[in-house]
Structures are given as structure tokens and as C-alpha cells.
């Protein structure tokens, strides 16, 4: 059973572990290619607490934290934001938890924050993520060719988005 709670300072060591996991960092790099550290993530968290344009959540299975997700760059005037998700624990990918987590997050974005649109960027090689985003109703809006260099080759970055009017929570037996 998936549980969602606000991201909190005690999650900082988990952020370091998860963001440094190659299964995550290959798709969510900070562009420097460097590993993150406790010091960097403490700094990130201090800035996060003061930033009303970001809302992050940790999700757990049977009380064990397995990943985090959130909305960044929340623009009140334009009513849009950018979505982020990472399952940091290897054993929990490919089991439907990403789907459950994003249904929760999109419901929060469209029903609580009343956003008009949610955007995201995804590397073409990330087939599982693309499959999930399409299932949820995201549509490709653009493509930046050869934008990302991973695993010794260039990859396109897709820009995908979903509108509030098109958000229909799919039925998923939890």
C-alpha cells in the first residue's frame, strides 16, 4: 500500500542515496555529472523550505520510504508546474508504484493546487517513464534533439504535458 507524505529534513540522507543511484542519476542528472553529498542536499533542503514554487513528497510502501516526487517552478499566474519523480529503491521499480504515486501527485496538482497544466522533460531512452506518462495522459509537445549525453551516446529530450481538462484519474486497483 503506497503512502505519500511531505518531504522532510530527515529524508536528506535518502535523497543522497537515491540521487546517487545510477538507475536514477542516468535520467535525473544535475548536468555536472558529479555525485551529490549530504552538504549539497542540506543546502537544497534549506532553500526548498523557503521556496513556495516547489512542493515535494516522499512516498513509502508499508512505511518504508522508496522514492520522492514533486512539482517545481509552480507558477501561480500561469497555473503550471514541472513534475519530477524517482523511485530510489531498486526493488520497487516496475511494480506499479510509480503509477500510483503519480496519480496522487496529479490529483494534488489539478484538484488541490488547481493547476491548468503540468509539464515534464524525459530522455528518449527512458521507455518505462515514457510509457507511464502516456498512460496517465501526458502528450509530447516537443523534442530537443541530442540534448543529453548518457551511456556513451546522445539522446533526445522530450517535453511532455498534461492539461487539467484532460486529467481523468485512471482506475488502478491499489
Ligand X SMILES: CC(C)(COP(=O)(O)OP(=O)(O)OC[C@H]1O[C@@H](n2cnc3c(N)ncnc32)[C@H](O)[C@@H]1OP(=O)(O)O)[C@@H](O)C(=O)NCCC(=O)NCCS
Q: Give the interface with ligand X as residue ranges (CB under 6 A).
A: 23-24, 27-28, 67, 85-87, 93-99, 122, 126-129, 131-132, 135
Using only C-alpha atoms, the chain has a radius of gyration, in whole angstroms, of 16
Q: How far is the CB of 73 from ligand X (least distance, A)?
A: 15
Contacts made by residues 15-21, CB under 8 angstroms, sequence distance 24+: 15/41, 15/44, 15/45, 15/68, 16/41, 17/88, 18/67, 18/68, 18/86, 18/88, 18/89, 19/86, 19/88, 21/88, 21/90
- Shortest spacing between CB 22 and ligand X, in angstroms: 10
Measured from the CB atom, the residue of 27 and 110 that comes closer to ligand X is 27
Nearer to ligand X among residue 97 and residue 110 (C-beta): 97
- Tell me whether residue 39 or residue 107 sits nearer to ligand X (CB atom): 107
State the nearest-atom distance from the C-beta of 50 to ligand X, in Å.
Answer: 25
Amino acid at each position: 500500500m503506497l503512502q505519500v507524505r511531505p518531504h522532510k529534513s530527515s529524508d536528506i540522507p535518502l535523497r543522497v542515496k537515491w540521487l546517487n543511484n545510477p538507475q536514477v542519476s542516468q535520467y535525473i542528472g544535475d548536468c555536472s555529472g558529479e555525485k551529490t553529498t549530504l552538504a549539497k542536499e542540506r543546502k537544497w533542503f534549506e532553500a526548498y523550505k523557503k521556496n513556495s514554487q516547489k512542493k515535494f513528497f516522499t512516498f513509502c510502501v508499508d512505511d518504508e520510504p522508496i522514492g520522492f516526487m514533486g512539482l517545481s517552478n509552480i507558477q501561480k499566474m500561469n497555473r503550471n508546474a514541472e513534475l519530477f519523480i524517482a523511485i530510489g529503491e531498486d526493488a520497487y521499480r516496475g511494480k506499479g508504484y510509480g503509477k500510483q504515486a503519480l496519480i496522487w501527485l496529479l490529483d494534488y496538482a489539478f484538484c488541490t493546487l488547481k493547476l491548468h497544466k503540468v509539464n515534464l522533460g524525459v530522455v528518449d531512452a527512458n521507455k518505462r517513464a515514457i510509457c507511464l506518462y502516456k498512460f496517465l495522459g501526458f502528450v509530447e509537445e516537443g523534442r530537443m534533439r541530442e540534448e543529453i549525453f548518457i551511456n556513451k551516446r546522445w539522446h533526445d529530450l522530450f517535453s511532455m504535458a498534461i492539461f487539467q481538462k484532460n486529467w481523468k484519474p485512471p482506475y488502478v486497483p491499489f
